[in-house]
Structure 1
Amino acid sequence: MTIDILDRTFEPFISREDLEARVGELAMSITSDYEGRCPLFLVVLNGAFLFASELVKRIPLSCQMSFIRLASYSGTSSTGQVRQILGLDGDLAGRDIIIIEDIVDTGLTMQSLLDQLQQLGPSSIELAVLLHKPEALKTPISMRYLGFEIENKFVVGYGLDYEGIGRNLDALYVSK
């Protein structure tokens, strides 16, 4: 079944069932890797909120969550440089941080974020990423917890949007 959002038509890409299964696998890996520790999950808004919600509620560890928003745009295009991390508060020194992100394509914004966070002295920083577009990658990024590698296509649903619409879809759809 296709869906229309504004001027685009999208077709099913990754089902709700496949998303739930993969998120469960990622949660088990994080639980195993961080047993006995209290990681801080940094959720990148807006796109990662559904992925983060589904992931973290399946992790039975003591943990903390913080929500950040990255400012990296000039007009309608990304500069690839994070100018500001909005919402980050608290001391990160000595903390185990897991950044939860919806999608990594070029990797430029994520690398800038990683560089800035590293200067704050955390014990470790790892990435939990729902989607990765290897064809679009311009800088190497280590993603310890990766949901799916996809082609360089435009997707919506499960937190990702087109012009602010489609985040609420419980599956992923790809532009036709």
Structure 2
Amino acid sequence: MNSDIEKVLYSQDQLNQRMDEMATELNQKYQGQEPIVVPVLNGAMIFASDMIKRLTFNLTIDPIKASSYAGAHSTGQVKIVQDLKSDVKNRPVIFMEDIIDTGRTLKALTEEMKLRGAKSVEVVAMLDKPAIRVVDFHADYYGFQVPDAFLVGYGLDYNGLYRNLPYIGVLKHEIYA
């Protein structure tokens, strides 16, 4: 598995340090509130789990599963595969996402939560890849801005593989070409 990686972009230590910084900001902002934290499955489960452990305010966790990818490419269509069980009306919603690339998925999900009456909607992403953005969307908090490369590890996958790598790396081109 490690031999399929061209280079490591962010080590576990670098990821931890950046999550500590983001958690400090979130803890200040949401103290005294009870947001619904929404991990976007499957990719964000590792990041969201590690972030949630750093949060010191009351919260509800309610994952959502949305899909817009087939293999290595975005289909351009966002589909909610598993919806929330919580009523978001008058509650702050915090999406936790592994990576924002085209922006379609998170834009669609944030618009949906606003339609459902969420008090506010914010996005916390481990990675932001603006080079391939196709819609006007920006995370409220993000760990690192990354180049246009095929990234895996720490929840990011290629056909379901590599999510369990403890770092974020660039997948060798010949693996997904």
Summarize the alignment of residues 119-138 of structure 1 with structure 2, pairs less than 5 Å apart: 119-138=115-134
2:55 is matched with: 59
Indicate conservation of the 8 Å contact 2:67/2:105, yes or no.
Answer: no
Aligned-residue RMSD, C-alpha? 1.8
Summarize the alignment of residues 149-160 of structure 1 with structure 2, pairs less than 5 Å apart: 149-160=145-156
1:3 is matched with: 2
Q: CA separation in 2, counterparts of 1:136 and 1:64?
A: 32
The structure richer in helix per residue is 2
Measured after TM superposition, the shift of residue 74 of structure 1 is 6.6
| Partner amino acid, structure 1, of 2:55 | I
Change (3 A) 1:166 1:76: closer
**Structure 1 stretch 48-57 or stretch 110-119: which is displaced more?**
110-119
1:74-105 Cα shifts (integer Å, max 9, x gaps): 78743333232513112110010000000011
Report whether the alignment pairs 1:50 with 2:46: yes
Summarize the alignment of residues 1-176 of structure 1 with structure 2, pairs less than 5 Å apart: 3-5=2-4, 9-73=5-69, 77-176=73-172
Q: CA separation in 2, counterparts of 1:111 and 1:34?
A: 22
Indicate conservation of the 8 Å contact 1:47/1:161, yes or no.
Answer: yes
| Partner amino acid, structure 2, of 1:139 | V
Aligned length: 172
| Partner amino acid, structure 2, of 1:4 | S
Identity of aligned pairs, percent?
36
Change (3 A) 1:74 1:52: closer
1:21-76 Cα shifts (integer Å, max 9, x gaps): 00111111100011110111000001101100110101111111011101335787
Indicate conservation of the 8 Å contact 2:71/2:159, yes or no.
Answer: no
**Structure 1 stretch 68-77 or stretch 114-123: which is displaced more?**
68-77
Indicate conservation of the 8 Å contact 1:80/1:112, yes or no.
Answer: no
Q: Scaled by the length of structure 1, what TM-score is found? A: 0.90
Indicate conservation of the 8 Å contact 1:42/1:68, yes or no.
Answer: yes
Q: CA separation in 2, counterparts of 1:74 and 1:132?
A: 20
Q: CA separation in 1, counterparts of 2:91 and 2:37?
A: 10
User: Which residues of structure 2 form unaligned runs of 5+?
Assistant: 173-177
Indicate conservation of the 8 Å contact 2:72/2:158, yes or no.
Answer: no
